[in-house]
Amino acid sequence: MSQDKINKAALAPDKVDGILSVLFYRKISTRISPAIASTPLTPNQITALSGLIGLLSVFFIAFGSYPIRILGLFVLQFARVLDHVDGEVARIKNMQSRWGTHLDVILDRFVDVAFIIAASIACFNDLHDSTVLIWGSIAAGMHLFFYYLTDGWIFPQSGGDSVQQRLNAFNIKDREMAFVANEVLITVFSIAIIIRQVKLALILCAVCSFMATVLQMVRIYKISAGD
CATH of residue 94: 1.20.120.1760
Mean pLDDT of all residues in 142-165: 64
Instruction: Give the type of residue at 139.
Output: A
Domain range for 69? 3-226
Separation CA 175–CA 197 (nearest Å):
34
Terminus-to-terminus CA distance in the chain, angstroms? 43
> Do 123 and 199 touch, CB atoms closer than 8 A?
yes
Q: Is residue 180's pLDDT more than 50?
A: no
Q: Determine phi and psi for 111, rounding to 5 degrees.
A: -70, -40
Q: Residues with Cβ < 8 Å from 108, sequence gap 6 or more?
A: 83, 182
DSSP state of 16: P
Mean pLDDT (the chain, rounded): 82
Provide the b/e sequence for 208-221 (b: ≥16 CB within 10 Å).
bbbebbeebeebee
Separation CA 4–CA 33 (nearest Å):
12
* pLDDT confidence tier of residue 105, bands split at 50, 70 and 90: confident
Q: Residues with Cβ < 8 Å from 123, sequence gap 6 or more?
A: 129, 132, 136, 198, 199, 202
Q: Is residue 174's pLDDT more than 60?
A: no
Separation CA 224–CA 78 (nearest Å):
39
Nearest to 46 by CA among 17, 78, 73, 3: 78
Q: For residue 153, what are the CA distances in angstroms to 69, 107, 119, 157?
A: 35, 18, 29, 9
The number of CA neighbours under 13 Å toward the Cβ of 24 is: 11
Strand ranges for the chain from DSSP E: 170-172, 175-177
Q: What is the pTM assigned to this prediction?
A: 0.83
Instruction: Please tell me the total count of domains within the chain.
Output: 1
Mean pLDDT of all residues in 207-222: 85
Mean pLDDT of all residues in 164-168: 44
Q: Looking at residue 225, what is its pLDDT? A: 76
Give per-residue pLDDT as tens, 37-89.
Answer: 999 999 999 999 999 999 999 999 999 999 999 999 999 999 999 999 999 99
Q: Looking at residue 226, what is its pLDDT? A: 65
